[in-house]
Amino acid sequence: MKGKVYLVGAGPGDYKLITLKGMECIRGADVIVYDRLANPEYLKEAKNGCELIDAGKASSDHTLSQDKINAVIADKAKEGKVVVRLKGGDPYVFGRGGEEGEYLLECDIPFEVVPGITSAIAGPCYAGIPITHRDYASSFHVITGHLKDDEKDDINWSALAGLKGTLVFLMGVANLQKISQNLIREGKNPATPAALISWATRYNQSVVTGNLETIYELALQNNVKPPTLIVIGDVVSLRDKLNFFEEKPLFGKNVVVTRAREQNSQLTAMIHDLGGHAIELPAIKIEEIENNEVLSQCIDHLKSYTYLVFTSQNTVGIFFKKLEEKGLDTRSLGHMKIAAVGPSTVSSLKSKGINPDIIPQRAVGEAVYESLKDILTSTDHILLPKSAIAREYLTEELRKICEVTAVSLYHTVTEPIDKELLLNLLEQNEAHYITFTSSSTVTNLIKAIGTENINRLKSAKLISIGPVTSETIRKYGLEVYKEPDKYTIDEMAKCIIKDIKR
């Protein structure tokens, strides 16, 4: 049985600039052969067991030659596998997708092409440069800057120099001097605005602007390296006005996220949408307690409880999984009042169709106690699912009023983190913010980098979610830079934005 090959355009780099169809292909692939310019984050979407092959392709040091790439994708498909050939931008824009298609046709292997957003258009866009504009350019031209060494390259410079439209050169940094000189020699105005856009659409996008005459010198001064787009034309002058991407509040900022991978998506997505770079260093991992007999018994006796208090999003997930395993659903909770601590716990419950009766003002034990103490009576019985390392405070206080059955659902364990990555960032003052969402993220991060390195954390601004976490940070002799008034992820992000605006 033959497999199939999908030549998929991964878009220009911004994680969200891939097509739905492209993402569907990635999720369904048995093998992914990927390029350097495809955002590596997409590989996390591959299914378990998917084989990942790096095809490299930096212009001078090819990791795999084109012949080898052709052979690999064809061989894997012949084994009956679904192969995704993942390429930066669009597969047919200087991506050699055409050659791969022809080869597959020769081998009689079925294939499809999924177009992608090309960097040639998205790159200028994210640099604030519209590729056409009624007042400035009525056409655009995308040209390879990968020139042959001899003087007789395939490019008709005099024709190009005569065009009024926007010129976009890909793979052209190494030949920038030649490109600008040829155009000027053939009569293009040396004062034509020009831009160099490196790592376009990514958190590390950088842009240099000048004109046709100055751009080569500017490239040298700014040490411009591939991948870079060269844009030449009057539209470049609109950058000052239309630069929406670099204007985003977190653009150029690295924010370290220490939360468990299972729950950090909200924070990383928020950082990304604000233009920042979230560096995931999950210091903790949530480990569900297996074969939890205590939980099982609690669920068998749901009728005996009058209150159910969810203290975290994790408790909601695990509790409902168990409920489902037993063939039960929300109807079995109908007789109880339900409390939810923290906004993500509230939204988890809402997604289960439950509108919590009690939502404490703040997500700390003291506030939960306050919200319950006047409504509870001695005949009540509270079921309190929690983390194994939760403070005893709440259980102890509530027990002074009525019966409380506290049941541990999960452990928070240390996750090995990339210590070198973090220490390097700190050394270069490039970990701009580190976010801590619980005491255990603090303790475990410090355990991971070693107490001898605690002082290095002083080069970053430490953002704590609330007072309990702040206390732990201070216990290590570190300063809490900001703590939001409301203890939520949203508010943490707002703290960072406010700080930058200041």
Q: Which residues pair with 228 in a beta bridge?
A: 198
CB of 313 to ligand SAH, least distance (A): 35
Return all residues near 213 (Cβ < 8 A) that are at least 6 apart.
180, 184, 190, 191
CB of 182 to ligand SAH, least distance (A): 18
Q: Which of 201, 211, 312, 313 binds ligand SAH (CB under 6 A)?
A: 201
CB of 380 to ligand SAH, least distance (A): 59
Please list every residue from 137 through 196 that binds ligand SAH, using CB under 6 A: 170-171
By the rule CB under 6 A, 113 interacts with ligand SAH: no
CB of 221 to ligand SAH, least distance (A): 19
Select the span of 43-51, 115-123, 211-219, 336-344 touching ligand SAH (CB under 6 A): 115-123
Q: What tokens appear for 129 in the block?
A: 């440069």
CB of 35 to ligand SAH, least distance (A): 8
Q: Which of 119, 182, 313, 438 binds ligand SAH (CB under 6 A)?
A: 119
Query: In the annotation, is 35 catalytic?
Result: yes
Count residues contacting ligand SAH (CB under 6 A)? 25
Determine the Cα–Cα distance for residues 382 and 268; give it in Å rounded to an integer.
35
Determine the Cα–Cα distance for residues 346 and 342; give it in Å rounded to an integer.
6
How many residues appear in the chain?
A: 502
Q: What tokens appear for 203 in the block?
A: 């958190």
Determine the Cα–Cα distance for residues 357 and 341; give it in Å rounded to an integer.
11
Query: In the annotation, is 30 catalytic?
Result: no
Cβ pair 203, 277 in contact under 8 A: yes
Q: Which residues pair with 433 in a beta bridge?
A: 255, 461
Give helix then strand counts, H and E, for the chain.
Answer: 18, 19
Dihedral angle computed from the Cα positions of residues 485, 489, 490 and 496, in that order, rounded to the nearest 10 degrees: 80
Query: Which residue, 123 or 275, is less far from ligand SAH as judged by CB?
Result: 123
Catalytic residue, chosen from 4, 57, 76, 188, is: 57
By the rule CB under 6 A, 39 interacts with ligand SAH: no
By the rule CB under 6 A, 88 interacts with ligand SAH: yes
Q: Which of 22, 101, 123, 210 binds ligand SAH (CB under 6 A)?
A: 123
Catalytic residue, chosen from 4, 14, 30, 35, is: 35
Cβ pair 118, 236 in contact under 8 A: no
Query: In the annotation, is 14 catalytic?
Result: no
Determine the Cα–Cα distance for residues 492 and 374; give it in Å rounded to an integer.
31
Return the DSSP state at 47.
P
Q: Which of 200, 219, 336, 448 binds ligand SAH (CB under 6 A)?
A: 200
By the rule CB under 6 A, 199 interacts with ligand SAH: yes
Query: Which residue, 88 or 343, is less far from ligand SAH as judged by CB?
Result: 88
Q: What tokens appear for 304 in the block?
A: 């005996």
Looking at this protein, which amino acid is placed at residue 275? G
Alpha helix positions (H), 404-478: 419-427, 439-449, 467-475
Q: Which of 3, 13, 343, 484 binds ligand SAH (CB under 6 A)?
A: 13
Q: Which of 3, 22, 95, 275 binds ligand SAH (CB under 6 A)?
A: 95
Return all residues near 106 (Cβ < 8 A) that are at least 6 apart.
none
CB of 288 to ligand SAH, least distance (A): 40
CB of 33 to ligand SAH, least distance (A): 15
Please list every residue from 217 through 256 that binds ligand SAH, using CB under 6 A: 226-229
Alpha helix positions (H), 91-133: 97-106, 119-126
Query: Which residue, 88 or 356, is less far from ligand SAH as judged by CB?
Result: 88
Give the C-alpha distances (Å, rounded to integers) separating 135 from 209, 233, 274, 302. Answer: 20, 12, 31, 71
Which residues contact ligand SAH (rule: CB under 6 A)? Answer: 12-13, 37, 87-90, 93-95, 118-120, 123, 170-171, 197-201, 226-229
Catalytic site positions:
35, 57, 171
